[in-house]
Structures are given as C-alpha cells and as structure tokens.
C-alpha cells in the first residue's frame, strides 16, 4: 500500500487559531488534540509522481454513517490546500458520524492543469475503493458503503467532472461508486467562463481556450459531459463575485435536457463564506449532505 506523506508544511499562526488549523497542525506534526473526534486525519498516498498526491482520511466516533469525498477549491492554484481549506469540514462532519476523504492533487504552479489535475482527482477517488484504514474494526467496505462527493468552488468543478467520468476522460471510467455529488459555487461551464473568471485561470487550467483545445473541454468541462453518472445537486451563494450563479443554473438546465437528475438552489452569503462551516449557508449545506447520505 502507498505510504502516507512524510513531508508537510508547518501550519501558520492564523491556521492554528482555527478549526482548520487544528487539523493542519495534526497533519503536519503527527499529533492529536483534545478537540479531535476519534482520531485526527491520517494521510495516505494514492500516487508517487508528486508529494501532492495524497488524501486525508478522518473517521468519526462509533458507526460510520457515510463517507464524503471532499474536493477543495482555490482557483486550481498551488496556493490553496486540502489541509488548510477543508480541515474544519472534516471536523464538523466527523461530529455528525460522517467519515471524510479529503483529496489533494497537483495544481497550477506545481505540475497541475489538464490533464494532470484530472488524472490525480480520478486516482484519488478510485483509491478509496482499495484504501485499508490503519484502524482496527474499520474496513474498506465500511468506507465505500455509502459515498457522496462534495466540492467547493474550483473543487466543485472537479467534483462534478469526477461524477461524469467516461472511458475517454482522464483516468477512464470511475471505480468509486458514489451516490450523488454536491457542487458548492462551482464553475461548471468552463468554456463559457474561460474569459470571465480571474486572470485567464480557466484557460491556464484547460491548457488554452475552447477555440485552441476543444478536445480538452470535451473531456473536462462538466456541462459537456452531461448527464452525469449520478444525481447532481448545486448550491450557489446569492452574492458571488467570483463565479456567477448562472453557471450552475445553466449546467442544471442542460443536464435536465439531456435526461440528467439535477437540482439548483440559491443560498445566502458570499463565495468565500460558502467554503466555511461558519458561513450563513452552512446549516443548509449540512442538511443537504445528510439528505444525500440518507
């Protein structure tokens, strides 16, 4: 079995003052804290080409009600990581009896972009089907019995893409049998957004614009892969200045027209707030996750 990473960045002072920082500190220093559930996250490598090819598995106390695969956002850039961004999510969901597999992947600036980021996401999700927890009494089957995928921002684009994998997409057809996927403020219409989001970050992620590399978009733009292989639920904040809510709404309309199962819901708050457990929409997000796992 691949071994867990041995090198981690030390958490910043700001991280240490937050719930995410508690997880970052544990991952970096190999310690546990009094506020932890049964255990702090354990890192497992799913690949050997980059130190970013790992995931963080966190288990709840007692029976596992389900597993959420978390895909962090951050404009697909190296600046943001699973440890920092999704740590508070792992803590919050563990308290609800939910296991989490928070995946890291190569990003722009460190070997990411098409196709490497997609290959990593595919490999990380498929690895869950063979992951053997280093915990007595917890099996691979326990982790795979009831699985959903949740992604935030650019991670939502990767999550919905992963829910739409085909034999011709990077990594091929999915081995992981997830029930549904939840997109939180995701850019799901990549070709349409290539000249809208950031400073050309979509084009950097895709290796160019649709006019230059249409094949990349046909293989990685979620709206071009409808219908997905599972129900798609979309939640988007009402005051988003980064990703227009119309992207998710358009995706849903196209997916339904193609026979897909898709829901779209506007929730209160701003883009960055939707990525935290302290934002105004968190109660709705948590309720949706529980509903999807029920």
CATH at residue 123: 3.40.50.1820
Domain assignment present for 5: no
Please, which residues have CB within 8 angstroms of residue 205's CB and are 6 or more apart in sequence? Answer: 76, 108, 112, 113, 114, 117, 154, 190
Whole-angstrom distance, CA of residue 208 vs CA of residue 210: 7
Q: Is the dihedral of CA 197, 200, 202, 205 positive or negative?
A: negative
- What's the pLDDT score for residue 50? 93
Domain assignment present for 46: no
Q: Higher model confidence: residue 148 or residue 25?
A: 148
Domain assignment present for 1: no
pLDDT digits (tens, 9 = 90+) for 41-92: 899 999 999 999 999 999 999 899 999 999 999 999 877 665 667 889 999 9
Number of compact structural domains in the chain: 1
Taking Cα atoms as reference points, which of 94, 112, 110 lies closest to residue 102?
A: 94
Domain assignment present for 244: yes
Domain assignment present for 19: no
Q: Per-residue pLDDT for 134 more than 90? A: no
Q: Per-residue pLDDT for 1 more than 70? A: no
Q: Per-residue pLDDT for 272 more than 80? A: yes
Mean per-residue pLDDT of the chain: 87
Cis peptide bond N-terminal to 63, omega within 30: no
Determine the structural domain holding residue 265 and report its residue range: 61-132+146-293
Tell me the CA distances in angstroms from 125 to 17, 37, 69, 76, 284, one per residue in order.
30, 24, 8, 17, 25
Q: Higher model confidence: residue 13 or residue 99?
A: 99
Q: Per-residue pLDDT for 101 more than 90? A: yes
Domain assignment present for 122: yes
pTM for this prediction: 0.87
Can you say how many angstroms the Cα of residue 156 is from the centroid of all Cα atoms in its chain? Answer: 6
- What's the pLDDT score for residue 194? 87
First-last CA distance in the chain? 31
Domain assignment present for 86: yes
3-class secondary-structure state, position 74: coil
Domain assignment present for 169: yes
């Amino acid at each position: 079995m691949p071994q867990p990473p041995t090198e981690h960045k030390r958490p910043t002072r700001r991280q240490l003052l937050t719930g995410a920082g508690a997880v970052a500190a544990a991952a970096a220093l190999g310690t546990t804290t009094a506020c932890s559930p049964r255990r702090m996250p354990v890192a497992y490598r799913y690949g050997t080409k980059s130190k970013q090819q790992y995931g963080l598995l966190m288990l709840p106390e007692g029976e596992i009600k389900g597993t959420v695969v978390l895909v962090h956002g951050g404009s697909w850039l190296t600046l943001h990581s699973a440890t920092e961004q999704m740590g508070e999510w792992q803590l919050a969901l563990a308290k609800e009896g939910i296991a989490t597999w928070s995946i890291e992947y190569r990003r722009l600036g460190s070997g990411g972009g098409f196709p490497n980021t997609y290959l990593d996401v595919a490999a990380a999700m498929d690895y869950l089907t063979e992951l053997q927890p280093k915990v007595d009494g917890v099996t691979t089957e326990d982790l795979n019995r009831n699985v959903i995928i949740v992604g935030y921002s650019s991670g939502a684009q990767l999550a919905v893409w992963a829910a739409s994998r085909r034999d011709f997409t990077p990594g091929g057809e999915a081995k992981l049998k997830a029930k549904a996927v939840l997109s939180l403020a995701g850019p799901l219409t990549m070709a349409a957004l290539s000249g809208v989001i950031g400073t050309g970050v979509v084009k950097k992620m895709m290796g160019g614009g649709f006019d230059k590399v249409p094949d990349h978009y046909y293989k990685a733009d979620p709206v071009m892969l409808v219908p997905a292989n599972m129900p798609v639920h979309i939640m988007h904040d009402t005051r988003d200045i980064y990703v227009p809510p119309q992207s998710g709404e358009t995706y849903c309309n196209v997916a339904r027209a193609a026979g897909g199962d898709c829901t779209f819901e506007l929730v209160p708050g701003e883009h960055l707030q939707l990525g935290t457990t302290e934002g105004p929409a968190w109660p709705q997000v948590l309720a949706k996750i529980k509903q999807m796992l029920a």
